[in-house]
Amino acid sequence: MKCPQPVQVVKQRRDAALQSLIGGVPYIQFMGIRFDRRDDELTAVMPYQDMLIGNPILPALHGGATSAFLETTAIIELSWAMMWSRIEVGEDMSNLRLPKTIDFTVDYLRSGLPRDAYARATINRSGRRYASVHVEAWQDNRTRMFAQATGHFLMPQIDG
């Protein structure tokens, strides 16, 4: 019988796996996006930076920055869900490939203000080859979204 691992060891392994996942995508660092993890739930955070402003007169976040934030959130959520069971058994994650975007539709509900943004993704369907994800983004109030998106992704084939 396998001895259960201390909670702290499991938490450290999960945190290291998440950091490895996001550390492998330079664009995530460029955008300054980070992910807060509570068990298997991820919240993406895009800290405000002046370079994210698209309309300085309003000022408002650039639509491309918003879209990239939402798409990144969806891809990392899908990857995290794929990794979850593999992390629990201590499997090597170094060969993990990311899902590829098939299509991604963004609804800009209101201007993103010059402040931190948050997003969470919900996986509607995930199979061996295809996944559908919905993402919601907000700033000060979770019930007041400034953007949402739906995306479809080609899932990588898992080796082994």
User: What pLDDT is attached to residue 142?
Assistant: 95
User: What pLDDT is attached to residue 148?
Assistant: 98
Read off the pLDDT of residues 75-134 as tens digits, 9 standing for 90 and up. Answer: 999 999 888 766 666 666 666 789 999 999 999 999 999 999 999 999 999 998 999 999
Q: Give dist(CA 63, CA 69) in Å, integer.
A: 10
Q: Kindly compute the dihedral angle of the four CA atoms of residues 50, 51, 57, 58, in this order, to the nearest 10 degrees.
A: -70
Given a contact cutoff of 8 angstroms between Cβ atoms, the answer to whether 157 and 85 are in contact is: no
Report the predicted TM-score, pTM, of the whole model to 2 decimal places: 0.89
Query: CATH class for domain 7-154?
Result: alpha beta
Q: Among residues 5, 33, 37, which one has the least CA distance to residue 18? A: 37
Q: Chain-wide mean pLDDT for the chain? A: 89
